[in-house]
């Protein structure tokens, strides 16, 4: 059987972290009472007009720069028409013709064969980033045959990031999205929490034989976590391969990921083959961005967005942070990945390092093996850890000063985990885990053991 080449592309919608919506002044807030954050414009009351939110533009520019994109100094807004209850105006304002940023790239790392020690860097091309409105939410109440519409989310700013089909499996897709998430969170342009709907991922999957053209692709939606993303993509790849090998065909359709069953199912033809009747948005002039060269002298800088100004103020991106950690602490690159991947773990690690004489190279083992595995076992975040960095540093100091053995240290750690407020020293004393340094004391103990086991000693001497 000829090998199959899976091809995976992603369309990611990231909710912009801003105080107000993309085109109106209503607040942006998660889980507010239904329809409490809806302005006249959001409700599509006739006669209202969109006014562009500056912060959203800056967020998109930041993100574009962080993803190595070219920022379009002139970009346009369009209307994308379709009828749905959560789209009050009957159209979404988006950027179809000329988006704000194009042609970027994202570097991410995957492990080979699940070994953390072998990481490979991959690149995925970023086709474009566009600004667009989020829709409201509709909840289907089947028992009463009605749909409830909440417009709080309608009009919130989104950045749609389109990743080219450069990925080949679920793991790569998840790793790429994870890296994007970290970048967005570092920039502050989006909080990118998938569980809160701030980061939504749709996967485009197809398979083909090497040397042949790309196969028909399906779109997979309803993916709510990185884990499910990997599962959904891998399932779909498998499904398509099986389908094609048994002589079937792949339909160009939209499928939903069912997390309970772990498979993809065809979606109710919500949009079908829609003609969105794109039309320029006549109420918004072209978005013009400036850089230091093109900025007119007498322009009020409150009125403009300066790309260079934003570039200068970009924080260290995750890749830079990781490199710095490796250099500063002498840890391995794969360690730096884990540190950044867990929210708050880098800070915890650095706090411990600052409070102990133990070398960072050794501390990292405690952080990644002991602390992290305990947290994972109990499904806790770093913030929820019952062992604080101060307490762990305390423990590590005892170990470093050779007051306890490393086995004893692990025992103490297990005790500390109970979170009963005892210090490491308390536990050491309680359980008599002190390492005995005194030579004479050690001799006495040995003598006592020998005296207590005379028969065994004779056996050993005679042998």
Q: Which residues bind another protein (CB under 8 A)?
A: 40, 43-52, 79, 81, 83-85, 88-91, 147, 149, 275, 277-279, 282-285
- State the residue for tokens 């934003």: 310
Whichever of 263 and 304 has its CB closer to another protein, that residue is: 304
Rounded to whole angstroms, how far apart are CA atoms 452 and 182?
62
Minimum separation from the CB atom of position 319 to another protein (A)? 38
Count of helix runs (H) and strand runs (E) in the chain? 14, 16
Rounded to whole angstroms, how far apart are CA atoms 85 and 149?
7
Minimum separation from the CB atom of position 367 to another protein (A)? 51
Q: Are 129 and 158 in contact (CB under 8 A)?
A: no
Whichever of 136 and 424 has its CB closer to another protein, that residue is: 136
Minimum separation from the CB atom of position 79 to another protein (A)? 6
The strand order across the sheet containing 157-167 reads 70-71, 101-112, 115-133, 157-167, 5-15, 199-208, 218-223, 254-258, 263-266
Whichever of 91 and 366 has its CB closer to another protein, that residue is: 91
- State the residue for tokens 């996967």: 203
What phi and psi, each to the nearest 5 degrees, are found at residue 344?
90, -5
Minimum separation from the CB atom of position 92 to another protein (A)? 11
Whichever of 241 and 295 has its CB closer to another protein, that residue is: 295
141 Ramachandran zone, left/alpha/beta (phi>0; psi -120 to 50) = beta
- State the residue for tokens 């083909």: 208
Whichever of 22 and 182 has its CB closer to another protein, that residue is: 22
> Distances from the Cα of 349 to the Cαs of 71, 130, 367, 457, in angstroms?
37, 37, 7, 48
Q: Is the torsion defined by CA of 347, 350, 356, 359 positive or negative?
A: positive
Q: Are 405 and 440 in contact (CB under 8 A)?
A: no
At 385, list the tokens. Answer: 């850890």
Give the number of other Cβ atoms within 10 Å of residue 185's Cβ: 18
Q: Which helix (H) or strand (E) holds 364?
A: helix 360-365
Rounded to the nearest angstrom, the gap between the alpha carbon of residue 339 and the centroid of all alpha carbons in its chain is 13
First to last CA, the chain: 66
What phi and psi, each to the nearest 5 degrees, are found at residue 58?
-60, -40
Minimum separation from the CB atom of position 271 to another protein (A)? 12
Minimum separation from the CB atom of position 102 to another protein (A)? 22
Rounded to whole angstroms, how far apart are CA atoms 165 and 386?
43
Whichever of 52 and 425 has its CB closer to another protein, that residue is: 52
Whichever of 42 and 234 has its CB closer to another protein, that residue is: 42
Give all strands (DSSP E) within 294-401, no chain letters.
Answer: none
Whichever of 89 and 391 has its CB closer to another protein, that residue is: 89
Whichever of 45 and 120 has its CB closer to another protein, that residue is: 45
Whichever of 155 and 215 has its CB closer to another protein, that residue is: 155
Neighbouring residues of 69: CB distance < 8 A, sequence distance ≥ 6: 101, 102, 103, 104, 126, 128, 129
Give the number of other Cβ atoms within 10 Å of residue 363's Cβ: 22
Whichever of 299 and 450 has its CB closer to another protein, that residue is: 299
What three-state secondary structure class fits 116?
strand
What three-state secondary structure class fits 114?
coil
């Amino acid at each position: 059987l000829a090998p199959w080449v899976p091809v995976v592309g992603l369309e990611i919608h990231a909710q912009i972290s801003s105080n107000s919506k993309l085109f109106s002044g209503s607040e942006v807030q998660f889980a507010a009472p239904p329809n409490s954050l809806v302005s006249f414009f959001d409700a599509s009351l006739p006669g209202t007009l969109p006014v562009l939110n500056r912060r959203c533009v800056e967020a998109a520019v930041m993100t574009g720069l962080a993803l190595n994109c070219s920022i379009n100094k002139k970009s346009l807004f369009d209307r994308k028409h379709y009828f749905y209850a959560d789209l009050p105006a009957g159209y979404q304002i988006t950027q179809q013709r000329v988006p704000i940023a194009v042609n970027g790239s994202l570097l991410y790392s995957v492990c080979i064969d699940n070994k953390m020690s072998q990481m490979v860097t991959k690149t995925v091309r970023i086709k474009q980033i566009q600004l667009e409105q989020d829709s409201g939410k509709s909840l289907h109440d089947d028992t009463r045959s009605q749909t409830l519409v909440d417009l709080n989310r309608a009009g919130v700013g989104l950045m749609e990031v389109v990743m080219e089909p450069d990925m080949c499996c679920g793991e790569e897709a998840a790793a790429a999205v994870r890296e994007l998430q970290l970048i967005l969170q570092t920039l502050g342009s989006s909080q990118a929490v998938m569980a809160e709907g701030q980061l939504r991922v749709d996967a485009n999957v197809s398979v083909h034989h090497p040397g042949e053209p790309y196969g028909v692709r399906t779109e997979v939606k309803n993916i709510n976590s990185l884990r499910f993303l990997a599962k959904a993509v891998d399932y779909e790849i498998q499904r398509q391969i099986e389908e094609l090998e048994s002589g079937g065909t792949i339909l160009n359709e939209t499928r939903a990921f069912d997390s309970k069953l772990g498979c993809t199912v065809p979606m109710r033809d919500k949009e079908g083959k829609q003609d969105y009747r794109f039309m320029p948005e006549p109420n918004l002039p072209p978005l013009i961005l400036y850089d230091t060269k093109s900025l007119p002298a007498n322009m009020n800088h409150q009125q403009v967005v300066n790309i260079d100004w934003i570039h200068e103020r970009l924080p260290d991106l995750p890749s830079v942070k990781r490199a710095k950690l490796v250099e500063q602490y002498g840890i391995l690159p794969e360690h730096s990945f884990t540190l950044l991947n867990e929210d708050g773990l880098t800070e915890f690690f650095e706090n411990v390092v600052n409070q102990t004489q133990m070398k960072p190279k050794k501390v990292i083992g405690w952080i990644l093996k002991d602390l992290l595995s305990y947290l994972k076992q109990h499904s806790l975040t770093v913030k929820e850890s019952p062992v604080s960095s101060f307490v762990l540093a305390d423990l590590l100091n005892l170990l470093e000063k050779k007051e306890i053995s490393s086995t004893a240290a692990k025992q103490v750690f297990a005790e500390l985990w109970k979170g009963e407020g005892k210090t490491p020293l308390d536990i050491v004393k309680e359980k008599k885990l002190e390492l005995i340094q005194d030579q004479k004391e050690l001799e006495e103990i040995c003598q006592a053991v020998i005296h207590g086991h005379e028969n065994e000693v004779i056996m050993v001497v005679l042998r």
